[in-house]
Structure 1
Amino acid sequence: MPARFMPLAAATLITFLGIGFCAETACAESWTDLRGTRTIEARMVGLWGDSVILEMLNGKRISVKLDALRSESRIQAQDLARDWQKNRGTRIGELQGRATEAAAPAPNPLPMPPAAPAYTTPKTDLAIGAFLDQIETLVRDGHVRAIYDSLPLTYRNDINDIVKLAAEKSDETTWDASIGKLQQLGEAIVTKQRWFLSSPRVKQLPPDAFDSMAEEVLTTAGALRIGLSPDVISLEKLRTTPVEKCVADLDAAIAPFVAQLFSYNGRSGRTVTVESEKEDTAVVSIEIDGRKSRVTFTKIDGFWVPKSMADSWAKSVESAKATISESTGSDLFPAVTGFATMVGSFSGPMMASTTADQYHGAMESIFSGAAMMETALAGFGNMIGKRFSLTGKSPNSGNGYDGYSGMDDYSGMDDYSGMDEYSGMDGGSDYDDQSQN
């Protein structure tokens, strides 16, 4: 070895020897006999009755009577034994806690999506392209309230009147039997998500389909659980609070979930082409995943709305109010009530389950009515601009918000004809010409 490397080699050897010595003696204690004439370095490995078991530095183990040691060594042995017992209890508690957590129906705390980007009210008096783009951006950021806020004030006032009239007609029993069951479904899935994902039916899915399903179903269930909770929306709140405030509160609650749903699909597959724009009229061509449509828009108080919708708005509002006035309250939303009744047949037993086996048994109703669930999930997905399926196969094409139709063409609010004109943005045949009105 060259002479210049000798100091470095010596330093390295000393370092390793020092480390080895420290590691070997790190846990060793000093033990002194009763007379104080002999002291040894050894590691205590146990205390059995009136004897302490010591492991010498050479690995040999010896047993020494406690009364053969000086008082400080006896105290040291007893202190070490107490520490071991305490640490053992702590360790057992940690292991039991981990086992309990692993066996729990859901993680604690429950996972939550990241916060959605801040909301900004849609601007008015923009060119048609910029107006539509801002709405799409806001919705993909999780803020479905942008669709409501993009309506002229007079339209929003009409919606407020319709909602108030419907809320006054409705009763708590009907509300709980519909909205309450949907919220319960979200609660049953989110708060027992480990049981949901461990269902033999669900675990049969291919890995990619399983991951996609888990993301989408848990996120959607989270939106139902939070968004439809009494703290966010209730029949009494709809009766006493302006709809604008109700929409804002709902949006604040579900925006993180909606934004996360959009993030799973990436960029929008929607292309908007402005064919013509003159003063208060514009013709727009919209293509979504190969489907084309042409929509004529008209500007009202700075807001662009489909002309067909504007032409029928007053009549639709009048019809909606008349239908609500003539209803008994319990028959206002038959589609929602019927679906919620079907949901309640399994969400209730799922929620009441105390074991995974009970939960899986309750879930069987979902799969026995798979076709109905596919339709229901597709409908809810369309409402928030997301298409998905429990089986991992989407019953609809598309990958996200596709224009105003993503909110079910506004028809979802009342099931009345004439309120669905936003569907012209993406519905119909391969190329629907709606420019002639």
Structure 2
Amino acid sequence: MFRSRLMETCWLLSWFLIGSGALPSLRAETWSDVSGKFRIEAKYVAVEGKAVVLEKTDGSVIKVPISRLSTESRAEAKRLYEQQIASEKNATKPESKPAMAAETATPAAQSRFAFPESGSLQQTVNFIQAEIKNGHPEVLWYALPAEVREVFDSPEFRQQFAETTADAQPMMDAMKQIATMVSKLLKDQQQFILNSQMLAAASPQGKMLLTMAYDPIAGFISQVALMSTDLEKLKSVSLTEYFDDYGPKIGRHVKQLLDMAPPQVTEQLFSNIQVTQTDPNNAVLTISSKDGTMQRTEMVRYQGRWISVGMSDWLTQHSGNLKEEILQGLSQANANPEMAKDKTTKVQMNSMAGFLLGFSESALKPLIEAKTQAEFDAAVMRVSMVAAMMTSGGLPNGN
């Protein structure tokens, strides 16, 4: 249950409610949160790090993360902060300045994409599609609200995630080596691949198109393979850095392929998503598949992003302790009996890591090391024969 919700969180989510308190300035201001559900009268006091300090009408002082404020309240906080700094300079006071300048007093996970935070779901879908077409698939990561990205970027989450996936490390290491070999094969043996007997039956036009698209196809395959097997990198970098690194590398090849394709082909790729806006803060997202089935998801605006209604309910339930809830859930999932069965399966899978790596090396090395077209074609034939035997007879000690 938790794991399924966590997976949805990773791709759709957000959380936040400024729940318990009201916000406050040297004269009372009206402050609002990103959802528009909460408004309070409070006085601005200062900016400290990533939070604005406010004095409520009852005299109590609170700190509110800037990321939780609405666009208007963020702008007001910045204006008052700059006004405060200017006043201090004019008065030539010797006191030290606040910790962060106004332009840097924003969350570390702030989106570098100009999402239409006040727009409809259709505007958001259009924006995401445009960024993907422009070579930035990492926009999907930034489609999550800032608070959620901050949780998944945290060292605590990445450490817990590393512990949860530690059992699969041997398999991941093997797959990474295989991905590296595939990348080298695609890069070094382009001409042998294009002139191989495998493509002998292709039409002249088909072969010409493949030749034109070879580089972006090979680059896309290589980068996706490397990204999917490089999760160990998350021990030293945040998820934001991870996606910022691999996103443009993959996106460059995606953009090249889309630019080569006829406009009608590109349009067809994105035409399976339909949006029905029911009111400014609610909509329905429908995704159709080739087999005619349709997946319908109710969506709601949440912290300047659109997420599923079910997930927004879950996030609201755990507002204020999202990180603790996720870390606890990972820990419990790793310890429960069902996970123990999964671990047994992982051990069995990892026992196959050596076999898969050995088979891949024996299959790929002759292709990589081939010096002539004849050597390459002979290596392809051997791989095809072995693959056919394995398909019919099953893997060793397997099925």
What is the TM-score normalised by the length of structure 1? 0.47
Specify the alignment match of 1:143 in structure 2. Answer: 136
Report which of the two structures shows the higher radius of gyration computed on alpha carbons. 1
Equivalent pair of 1:128/1:304 in contact (CA under 8 Å): yes
Secondary structure at 1:268's aligned position in 2?
Answer: helix
1:298 counterpart (297, 300, 306): 300
Q: Which 5+ residue runs of structure 1 have no aligned equivalent?
A: 1-118, 374-437
Q: Structure 1 stretch 200-209 or stretch 284-293: which is displaced more?
A: 284-293
| 1:152 aligns to 2:145 (yes or no) | yes
Tell me the equivalent position of 2:346.
331
Q: Which residue matches 1:91? A: none
Q: What is the match of residue 255 of structure 1?
A: 251
1:125-156 deviation per Cα after TM superposition (whole angstroms, max 9, x unaligned): 32111011101111122211011110123433
Q: Do structure 1's residue 353 and structure 2's residue 370 form an aligned pair? A: yes
Alignment of 1:205-216 (within 5 A): 205-216=202-213
SS of the counterpart of 2:267? coil
Q: 1:132 aligns with which of 118, 125, 133?
A: 125
**SS of 2:346 mapped into structure 1:** coil
How far did residue 353 of structure 1 move?
2.9
Report the equivalent of 2:267. Answer: 268
Matches within 5 A, 1:35-184: 120-160=113-153, 164-168=159-163, 169-170=165-166, 173-184=170-181
Structure 2 CA distance for partners of 1:234 and 1:247, relative to 1, 3 Å: same
Structure with the bigger RCO (C-alpha within 8 Å, sep 6+) is: 2
CA contact (8 A) 1:284 1:295 kept: yes
Residue 196 of structure 2 is aligned with which of 176, 195, 199?
A: 199
Aligned mates of 1:165, 1:190 — CA distance in 2 = 36
Matches within 5 A, 1:371-386: none
- Conservation of the 8 A alpha-carbon contact between 2:135 and 2:248: no
The equivalent residue for 1:104 is: none
Asked whether the 8 Å contact 1:223–1:257 carries over to 2, the reply is: yes
CA-to-partner distance for each residue in 1:34-66, whole Å, 9 max, x for gaps?
xxxxxxxxxxxxxxxxxxxxxxxxxxxxxxxxx
Distance 1:200 1:274, change over 3 A: closer
Give the AA of the match of 1:132. V
Give per-residue Cα distances to partners, 1:8-35, cap 9 Å, x unaligned.
xxxxxxxxxxxxxxxxxxxxxxxxxxxx
Alignment CA distance shift 1:200-1:321 (3 Å): farther
Deviations 1:191-249 (A, max 9, x none): 1100111111222222233334445554232134456669x984553201111001101
Using the alignment, how far apart are the partners of 1:319 and 1:364 within structure 2? 49
Counterpart in 2 of 1:277?
278
Q: Tell me the residue number matched to 2:108.
A: none
- Work out which of the residue numbers 360, 376, 381 in structure 2 matches 1:364: 381
Contact 2:160 2:330 in 1 (8 A): no
The one-letter amino acid of 2:379's match is A
User: Following the alignment from structure 2 to structure 1, what is the Cα–Cα distance between the partners of residues 210 and 238?
Assistant: 36
The farther-off stretch of 125-134 and 212-221 is 212-221
Structure 2 gaps of 5+ residues are 1-111, 319-324, 392-399
Determine if contact 2:133/2:258 at 8 Å carries over to the other structure.
Answer: yes
- When residues 254 and 310 of structure 1 are mapped into structure 2, their CA distance, relative to the original with a 3 A threshold, is same
Amino acid at match of 2:267: S
Q: Is the 8 A contact 1:121 1:149 kept in 2?
A: no
Q: CA RMSD in A?
A: 4.3
**Helix, strand or coil: the match of 1:361?**
helix
Q: Which amino acid aligns with 2:307?
A: V
SS at match of 2:306: strand
CA distance in 2, matches of 1:319, 1:174: 24
* CA distances 1:314-371 after superposition (whole Å, capped 9, x unpaired): 899876655556576993996997997575553333223333333223333665558x
Rounded Cα–Cα distance in structure 2 between residues aligned with 1:353 and 1:189? 13
Contact (CA 8 Å) 1:177, 1:340: kept in 2 or not?
Answer: yes
Deviation string 1:242-285 (CA, Å, 9 cap, x unpaired) is: 11001101112222112122234333221654433324321244
Q: Could you say if the C-alpha distance between residues 345 and 206 of structure 1 is closer, same or farther in structure 2, counting changes exceeding 3 Å?
A: farther
- Determine the C-alpha separation between the residues in 1 that align with 2:284 and 2:173: 44
The answer to whether the Cα contact below 8 Å between 2:136 and 2:251 also exists between their aligned partners in 1 is yes
Q: 1:360 to 1:163 in 2, by over 3 A?
A: farther
Q: Structure 1 CA distance, aligned partners of 2:160 and 2:137?
A: 23
Indicate if the aligned counterparts of 2:275 and 2:286 stay in contact, CA closer than 8 A. yes
* Identity percentage of aligned residues: 17
Paired residue secondary structure (1:204): coil
- Kept in 1, the 8 Å contact 2:196–2:377? The answer is yes
Contact 2:137 2:251 in 1 (8 A): yes
